[in-house]
Structure 1
Amino acid sequence: MKKLILVTLFSIAGLMAADGATLYKTCMACHGANGDKVPPGSKATFTINSLKKEKIIEDLKGYKAGTLNQYGLGVQMKIYAGKLSDADMSALADYIVTLKK
């Protein structure tokens, strides 16, 4: 009985865990399917698939807080990042770094 309860709890936790690939679908319109596009209107000279996990999370937190306006896209990114939890940001960053070529 205890094993069944533990398995059930872990299964539920797994279902509630953030899925980076699913979260990234929102990002694809601007950043491309592989994170290799510079967003429209951005003056960035890099793509998000070139960033390290820690930098991605740091930037997402800055956009969410409204303290980052990198390349003039702070308002747009605040809309998207504002919907992300810390777990979402971590899962999203984990996924983005897999897009590196």
Structure 2
Amino acid sequence: MKKITLLSLVAASVLFTACGENTETVTDTVEKTAKGTTETVTDTIKNAVTGSAKTVTDTVTDTAKGATETVTETVKNAVTGATETVTDKVTETAKNATETVTDTVKNAVTGATKTVTEVVTTNTAGKDAFAKCAGCHGADGKTKALGKSEVIAGQSAADLESKLKEYKAGTRNVAGMGMLMKGQVASMSDDDIKAVSEYISAL
């Protein structure tokens, strides 16, 4: 009986010893496998993240570059179009303004010439009355009488009429011409003075 018990203990010891060695071997294998797997997974994730980051960076760069070129081209086209539109409008406005001014000046000159011509042509009474004035003031009214008086051609009709009436009344005497002028206009009626004043003004 004692022999059987002793053999059982020896067998158990041997079995436990074998199990202990197998356990250590399995543990080492698992640790090495886990470590290798972890390193492999880490490298794989690292490479994947690096590649993804590079791809995202390239994509963002290309997208930003394309967007910048598109915006630049759009702005350039908009500015060019606006410049052409403004230039066309300014040119057209200037052309219209020039035509308007030209027409206005042309009409004004034509009207003034026509008016002067009509006054000179139709004012026969004034022309006849001026005959006695032409000897001193010249046929065109631009001669200084006796080298003293002012040029009478082109003065306003109202001023000339007022001056002639003053000479007639003896209340005006410029450069000693008072008595001479009084004698010249003494025989003129108010209508004659008005007519000759308008005639001289139109010269």
TM-score range normalised by the length of the shorter chain: 0.7 to 0.9
Q: Deviations over 1:54-78 (max 9, x none)?
A: 1101110000000000121000000
Residue 50 of structure 1, CA deviation:
3.2
Q: Is residue 94 of structure 1 aligned with residue 181 of structure 2?
A: no
* Partner Cα distance (1:76, 1:50) in 2: 22
Alignment of 1:50-61 (within 5 A): 50-61=154-165
Contact 2:136/2:144 (CA < 8 Å) preserved in 1? yes
Partner-residue secondary structure (3-state), 1:62: helix
Alignment of 1:18-57 (within 5 A): 19-42=125-148, 44=149, 46-57=150-161
More helix by share: 2
Q: Deviations over 1:13-59 (max 9, x none)?
A: xxxxx7000110100000000000000152x3x30013111110111
Q: Which has the larger radius of gyration?
A: 2
Higher relative contact order (CA 8 A, sep 6+): 1
Q: Name the counterpart of 2:177.
A: 73
Residue 87 of structure 1, CA deviation:
0.2
* Partner Cα distance (1:36, 1:89) in 2: 19
* Partner Cα distance (1:69, 1:50) in 2: 21
User: Runs of 5+ in structure 1 lacking a partner?
Assistant: 1-17
Partner-residue secondary structure (3-state), 1:34: coil
TM-score by length of 2: 0.38
Q: Name the counterpart of 2:189.
A: 85
Paired letter, 1:56: L
Paired letter, 2:132: T
Contact 2:154/2:202 (CA < 8 Å) preserved in 1? no
